[in-house]
Amino acid sequence: MTKKTKLILSAAACVAMFAFVIVADNFFGNFNLRVFNLCAIYIILALSMNLLNGFTGLFSLGHAGFMAIGAYVCALLTMSPAQKELNFFLAPIVPVLANVQLPFIPALVIAGLVAAAFAWLIGTPVLRLRDDYLAIATLGFAEIIRVVITNLQTITNGALGLKGLPKYSTTGVVWGVAAITAAFMLALIRSAYGRSLKAVRDNEIAAQAMGIDVAHVKIVSFVLSSFFAGIGGALLGHLMTTIDPKMFVFGLTYNILLIVVLGGNGSITGSVVASFVVTIMMELLRFLDGPLNFIVFKTEGLPGLRMVVFSLLLMIVVIYRQKGLMGTKEFSWDMLAAAGRAFRKGRGDSNGGSAC
Amino acid sequence: MLNVENATIRFGGLTAVSDLTMTVGEGEIVGLIGPNGAGKTTAFNMITGVYRPTEGAIAFNGVDITRLAPHRITALGLARTFQNIRLFREMTVLENVMVACNLRMGVHLFPSVFHTPAYLRRERGARDQALDLLDKVGLIQHADEPATSLPYGKQRRLEIVRALATKPTCLLLDEPAAGMNPNESRELMDFIHCVRDDFGISILLIEHHMQVVMGVCSRMYVLEYGITIAEGSPEKIQKDPRVIEAYLGVD
């Protein structure tokens, strides 16, 4: 396949996706559109986690914390003073924040930057740790953020959460941001800097010996990942229009980790595909949480049963296909062509080998 | 150009290397030999900044590198390979070398991501340099293969090429002939000679088998239990009673 054909195919795929987003925006029902937009947000979150876990080899579980920071910052910056007054009925909001109201895009960028700033602050001490220790430290950080948010009554409205966020997470916005994130990650991974990231992942000691400032590369990756996590959190908040500290528990990080592992730790296209699969399955399997009739026995509704399906799926992947869907490879047209040839060949053979 | 002065390193009560004093001159090939566990690799790790010596000083081209981080030492022109091969597993042969080119290319995050013209120019330069290096050492036909699919001997060679891509003036090779048969190690010694002559660099190499280094080094140091027991030309070392004792044991 020539380079030109591939370019045309890629352009066609982009146009098709763009058209699909427009069609979805205009013709999907309310619920379906919401799930479809949730896919875009999970793409952003999965890509940001994959940058850290898959491309830099840092096992971090702090995503929910950075998302919470992003969501709260963006919400507080965009809500109208009147809406804030309605929310903060237990204790009034601090005066500095009471009258601030910014347009959505600047607020979104600031939300990402604040999350990134926190990442930079905790990065220096925490990134000295490796593997499980790093995971535990970042998980601890996420929990601290959640507890702090719960207790900062005059800034975050504590456990009551914030309600009535403006509905800024429209189809165009979430898919636009998802496209920018994907393009950014692809460009990063294929660049010289991306090679430095992968070198740190593959062999830290060798990377150091090749003149790569490992500590710096890790911080950059951590800060970038947190920036996109903050943006993803902010978009999620404006999609739900309600946020509270309980939203950002460890389970949220787990969902993103599930996507990254299923799609392939170190594959951008894998994360994108898995985001769709997991987000849609989460909704399709919702019936499992309700009352079930197995003929032999009946259940009265077991909330959380659908998560058992995902846990099983994760176990199967970990045992039989640790690489996930794509491994560290990326989808390419050559891969599709090869699969097509293999398929035709397989069918041809079963027909007596007449096809070429 | 490389001066190690009275370098000592202790891990708790264990003195791994004691009072090591050695020099490597311009264009020299110097050997560091000794039996298993003599502290050769520890000495290397000390020089390249992986460990910090408890006492003593290390200077490279007049710069004190005793307490520098490994990547800074590499930036000064001191590159190394590893005893147990440490290639970047998920990358191709070419990418492995190009990573090492990053150092002299000056890679920054945003120019990389946005593919600025200056970045693209440097990237092309790095690719050409990497391909050129691979061509010189006869690995060019493997450029797009995964690094770990190469046979053992070629993986060792790739490690040396990768180190060369950082444009060093002094190269440290940690047991480059480990696990090779006599034929392969002879080939490798020729290769090391070529590297020295083509790139005009000095080389410090650790070796376990004395025969291998005899032919290639102009001077050598012998370590045993962290202590330098002999130094000098290969001929002198061969006759040294303490070296013979260390290697063969004496009744």
Residues 6 or more apart in contact with residue A342 via CB below 8 angstroms: none
Amino acid B9 reads I
- Chain A residues within 8 Å of chain B (Cβ atoms): 184, 187-188, 191-196, 198-199, 201-203, 205-214, 220, 224, 266, 328
Q: Which chain B residue has the Cα nearest residue A208?
A: B71
What's the CA gap between B20 and A125, in Å, rounded? Answer: 34
The Cα A144–Cα A161 span in angstroms is: 17
ipTM of the complex in this document: 0.90
Q: Is the Cβ pair A205, B82 closer than 8 Å? A: yes
How far is B2 from B60, CA to CA, in rounded Å?
Answer: 5
Partner residue opposite A195 with nearest CB, options B80, B95, B114: B95
By Cβ distance, the residue of B74, B88, B107 closest to A193 is B107
Phi-psi region of B69 (alpha: psi -120 to 50; beta: other; left: phi over 0): beta
- pLDDT for A350: 47
For residue B50, give how far its alpha carbon lies from the nearest alpha carbon of chain A (Å). 9
pLDDT in tens, B188-198: 888 888 888 88
C-alpha distances out from residue B193 to A194, A197, A332, B29, B190, Å: 34, 33, 43, 8, 5
Residues A182-211: tens digit of each pLDDT: 999 999 999 999 999 999 999 999 999 999
* Partners of B79 in the β-ladder: B171
3-state class percentages of chain A: helix first, strand second, coil last, to nearest 5: 75, 0, 25
CB B214, CB B235: distance < 8 Å: no
Q: Please report where in the chains the tokens 């079963």 appear, as a residue.
A: A350
Chain B hits for A187, Cβ within 8 Å: 112-115
pLDDT digits (tens, 9 = 90+) for A253-274: 999 999 999 988 888 999 999 9
- Smallest CA–CA distance, residue A286 to chain B, in Å, is 38
- For B70, the closest of A199, A208, A224 (CB atoms) is A208
- Look-up of token digits 């399709």: A284
Please compute the mean of the pLDDT values over residues B103-130 and round it to a whole number. 89
Q: What is the mean pLDDT of residues B134-141?
A: 89
Mean pLDDT of B34-39: 84
Do residues B32 and B220 lie in contact, with contact meaning Cβ atoms separated by under 8 Å? yes
A187 and B114 within 8 Å at the Cβ level: the answer is yes
Report, as an integer, the average pLDDT of B210-232: 85
What residues of B are in the A interface, CB distance below 8 Å?
A: 48, 50, 69-71, 74-75, 79-80, 82, 86-91, 95, 98-103, 105, 107-109, 112-115, 119, 122-123, 126, 162-163, 165-166
pLDDT at A348: 56
Our CA angle for A157, A158, A164, nearest 5°, is: 45
Q: Would you call B109 and A203 a contact, using CB atoms and an 8 Å cutoff?
A: no
Report how far residue B48's alpha carbon sits from residue A334's, in angstroms, rounded to the nearest whole number: 43
Give the per-residue pLDDT at A185.
94
Task: Indicate yes or no: CB of A206 within 8 angstroms of CB of B108.
Answer: no
Contact flag B119-A192 (C-beta cutoff 8 Å): yes
Q: What's the confidence (pLDDT) of residue B215?
A: 81
Return the CA Rg of chain A: 22
CB within 8 Å: B71 and A184? no
Q: Which residue, B200, B171, B205, is CA-closest to B189?
A: B205
Q: How confident is the model at residue B236 (pLDDT cuts 50, 70, 90)?
A: confident
Q: Which two tokens stand for residue A50?
A: 């994959």
Distance CA A30, CA A52 (A): 34
Closest CA to B173 of B123, B126, B213, B231: B213
For residue A280 the two structure tokens come to: 């849609």
- pLDDT confidence of residue B126: 92
User: With the C-alpha atoms ordered B4, B7, B11, B16, is the resulting torsion angle positive or negative?
Assistant: positive
Residues of chain A falling short of pLDDT 50: 350-356
Q: Of A188, A202, A220, which is closest to B88 when you measure between CB atoms?
A: A202
Region B148-164: mean pLDDT is: 90
Q: Are B131 and A241 in contact (CB under 8 A)?
A: no
Chain A residues lying within 8 Å of B119, measured CB to CB: 191-192
Please provide the average confidence, as pLDDT, over all residues in chain B.
88
pLDDT of residue B251: 55
Q: Name which of A134-138, B50-54, B208-212 the model is least confident about.
A: B208-212
Say how far apart CA A34 and CA A169 lie, in whole Å: 10
Q: Going edge to edge, which strands form the sheet with B227-232?
A: B78-80, B170-174, B202-207, B29-33, B219-224, B227-232
Nearest residue of A to residue B71, measured between CA atoms = A211
Chain B residues close to A192, C-beta within 8 Å: 98, 101-102, 105, 107, 112, 119, 122-123, 126
